[in-house]
Amino acid sequence: MNAHERVIKTLNHEEPDRVPLFCQAIMPGFERNLLEYWGKEYKHDKRYALYFSDYNVKRKLGFDCCWGFGVAPVKLPRGFLKNNPLPQLDDPNKIIDIDGRIYLRNPEFNMPWYYENYISSEEMADQFYDTYYSIEWEENSKFIPKLNKKLSTYPIDEILPCAHINSILEPIWEGLGLSLFTKLLRKNKTKLKKYIDLRTKIAVTGSKVLAETDLDVFFLCDDTAFKNRTMINPKDHRELIIPAYKKILHELNKAGKYAIFHSDGYTEPYFDGLIEAGFKGVESLEPMAGMDLKYLKETYGDKLCLIGNIDVSYLLPFGTTEEVTQSVKKCIKDAGEGGGYILSACTDITNACKLENIFTMISATKKYGKYPLKL
């Protein structure tokens, strides 16, 4: 069974030949160590590159699917930012995006990292949303024929690329900052809903474009939880965010695509709403945040494909290979029966992770994750 068949069968809650392996991303320091370890054994192959995403390293490691595809399905009108420039900061290494987030450039990474919020008042928030979101964005549909042509030759049987859907809540709270965001949530929910609705309209347009591509699996990444608790009350999440997700996923689900929700932290109280919205899976399942995989499988395993649960806080950086093997076996035992589980580190493979622990995670999954399970 190839990677594409294995992943799709699992998302359909059927047993493939073995438990699939998923990778969010690999940090540069870890990748450098990996390439040094492989040496001349590693050969880059352009077949495994798709637009701005390169899947060579993840394929060689043995993953079945991963993040990486980043073509935007919608965009601001041509010349709009030139006529409506974003604020500039004195520090040239810090940039502000249209959500009011300050990003810090880091030469080690291909993209800047979120630093802090720039917006500090309701008036500033209104200005950003009225300027950049209360307008008609353009569909970037011209890339669809080119993408589908590339996908016709891309080896999805070896590693499946997953695309991204526009998120909703994470960019709002990051732009406003938690203090202002919480204030609006408590005292001016109508204004917060306006921001959500504006973002949703653009995300819906984008999902209609993505539904026309030959990609099968999509992630909506919306980090909205802390360790052992959610970021917002699940009732507020059900009222404000789930209707937005439902609209965004409508076209994708109608086209037979698979949408997966990602957030770090303790997300289980959101699950009923995520199921209602139409998500086929949920990813991260951070064990150190209180995500009990056995309980999640027993409670939601017939409705959501579960992805993740291998600890990156301690296990993969500091644990032994035997501890990694035992963790893999436990995850497979707790969630693998009947399909519907994809094993993964619960976040990016960080620079701190040991090479031998990542190798062990992958090899142990392939050894103990064969169906029918015998653990």
Query: What is the pLDDT of the chain when averaged over all its residues?
Result: 96
What's the rounded mean pLDDT across residues 27-47?
95
Q: Which residue has the tokens 């699992």?
A: 10
Sequence-separated (6 or more) residues with CB below 8 Å from residue 101 = 114, 115, 116, 117, 118, 171, 174, 175
Question: How do residues 264-278 score in pLDDT, each as one tens digit?
Answer: 999 999 999 999 999
Q: How far is CA 12 from CA 6, 71, 258, 302, 373, in A?
A: 10, 26, 9, 10, 18
CATH topology of domain 3-78+119-368: TIM Barrel (3.20.20)
Mean predicted confidence (pLDDT) in 12-33: 97
Share of the chain above pLDDT 90, in %: 93
Query: Of 306, 373, 305, 372, whose CA–CA distance to 13 is shortest?
Result: 305
Domain parsing of the chain, residue ranges: 3-78+119-368
Question: For 115-137, how does the pLDDT look when each residue is reduced to its tens digit (9 = 90+)?
Answer: 999 999 999 999 999 999 999 99
pLDDT attached to residue 71: 65
Provide φ and ψ at 21, rounded to 5°: -120, 130
| 174 alpha carbon, distance to own chain's centre | 17
pLDDT tens profile 70-129: 667 899 999 999 999 999 999 999 999 999 999 999 877 767 899 999 999 999 999 999
pLDDT of residue 107: 76
Confidence of residue 141 (pLDDT cuts 50, 70, 90): confident
Where does the pLDDT of residue 200 fall: very low under 50, low under 70, confident under 90, or very high at 90 and above?
Answer: very high
The per-residue pLDDT for range 349-368, each reduced to its tens digit, is: 999 999 999 999 999 999 99
d(CA 25, CA 284): 12
